[in-house]
């Protein structure tokens, strides 16, 4: 099935976030819509377009957006990972999807990768009209993800990152520009993610002009973000695809939290964290998502 892609904008916190909106070329009636958001420090140009187009080819509307301060979206300061702001962006994206005349407002799904999963789940937990959630290589537990990263920092780099994060917080209090730290780096170098697969994984996923830096203050805050706690009382359908050899978001805490959710479907992936956008793992994610949505969405599923 051929598809149509259009550039759209959504307003969040006074800034414009930019997105792609995909539709099947031939569609009748209002369609279910998958709202897609990326992981830590990434943009919509980092491997998710092929997944989005596959969903559109299967008969879904898809909205794939950039967070404020990242990619093509507006927002200052740049490269700042703010959980609060990104959750506002998710809410604005869901509202834009529902406002589209092509979309069935009762069949909007949030789909996230890595950190984007935490946002997708939190958005759904706050919005009872979200029909379902898809969680790929999920970040459900910021504490375990922070500990996993810290175990790979040298003692000297641990001190550098903590001090840089503290200085960045202080600079923010006085309205100064952020102090940056690399998102990913080779083992032994200074960076937030330094497992052997991290930097090569980012290189394989991102465009040539990708900005590998983020505001250092996130290193001091990431452990506080625990969206997986919401799973205990979550009753709508959720598909969780943990990476069983994930060095970024360890699968143990992910599975423990997911098994507390009676409405969860688990499909295990045997890949590194950053391999989810490459085949054969990408194809399995697409197939599993479509099977899940066709089976678990409310009445009016895609034929």
- For the domain 3-141+226-296, what is the CATH code? 3.40.50.1820
CA distances from 259 to 47, 251, 296 (A): 29, 12, 18
CA distances from 19 to 66, 94, 140, 224, 285 (A): 6, 12, 25, 28, 22
Q: DSSP readout, 212-263?
A: -EEETTHHHHGGG--GGGGGGG--SEEEEE-BTT-SSS-HHHHHHHHTT-TT
Per-residue pLDDT band at 29 (split at 50, 70, 90): confident
- Segment 225-233 shows an average pLDDT of 96
Per-residue pLDDT band at 301 (split at 50, 70, 90): very low
Per-residue pLDDT band at 300 (split at 50, 70, 90): low
Q: How far apart are CA 87 and CA 84, in angstroms?
A: 5
pLDDT in tens, 53-80: 999 999 999 999 999 999 999 999 999 9
Query: Domain residues of the chain, as ranges?
Result: 3-141+226-296
Q: How far apart are CA 114 and CA 205, in angstroms?
A: 14
Reference 268, options 239, 251, 243; nearest CA is 243
């Amino acid at each position: 099935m051929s598809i149509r892609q259009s550039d759209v904008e959504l307003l969040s916190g006074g800034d414009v976030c930019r997105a792609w909106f995909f539709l099947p070329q031939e569609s009748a009636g209002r369609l279910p819509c998958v709202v897609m958001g990326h992981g830590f420090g990434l943009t919509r140009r980092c491997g998710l377009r092929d997944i989005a187009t596959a969903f559109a080819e299967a008969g879904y509307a898809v909205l794939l957006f950039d967070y404020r301060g990242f990619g093509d979206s507006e927002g200052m300061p740049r490269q700042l990972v703010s959980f609060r702001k990104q959750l506002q962006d998710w809410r604005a994206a869901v509202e834009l999807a529902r406002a589209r005349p092509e979309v069935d407002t009762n069949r909007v799904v949030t789909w996230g990768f890595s950190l984007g999963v935490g946002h997708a789940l939190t958005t759904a937990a706050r919005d009872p009209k979200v029909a379902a959630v898809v969680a790929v290589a999920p970040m459900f537990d910021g504490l375990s993800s922070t500990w996993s990263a810290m175990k790979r920092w040298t003692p000297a780099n641990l001190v550098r990152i903590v001090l840089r994060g503290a200085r960045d917080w202080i600079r923010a209090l006085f309205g100064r520009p952020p102090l940056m730290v690399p998102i990913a780096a080779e083992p032994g170098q200074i960076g937030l993610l330094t497992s052997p697969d991290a930097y090569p994984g980012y290189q394989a996923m991102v465009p040539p002009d990708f900005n590998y830096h983020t505001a250092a203050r996130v290193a001091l805050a990431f452990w506080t973000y625990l969206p997986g706690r919401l799973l205990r009382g979550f009753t709508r359908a959720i598909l969780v695809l943990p990476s069983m050899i994930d060095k970024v978001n360890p699968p143990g805490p992910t599975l423990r939290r997911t098994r507390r959710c009676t409405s969860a479907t688990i499909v295990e992936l045997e890949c590194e964290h950053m391999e989810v956008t490459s085949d054969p793992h990408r194809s399995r994610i697409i197939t599993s998502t479509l099977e899940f949505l066709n089976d678990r969405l409310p009445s009016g599923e895609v034929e």
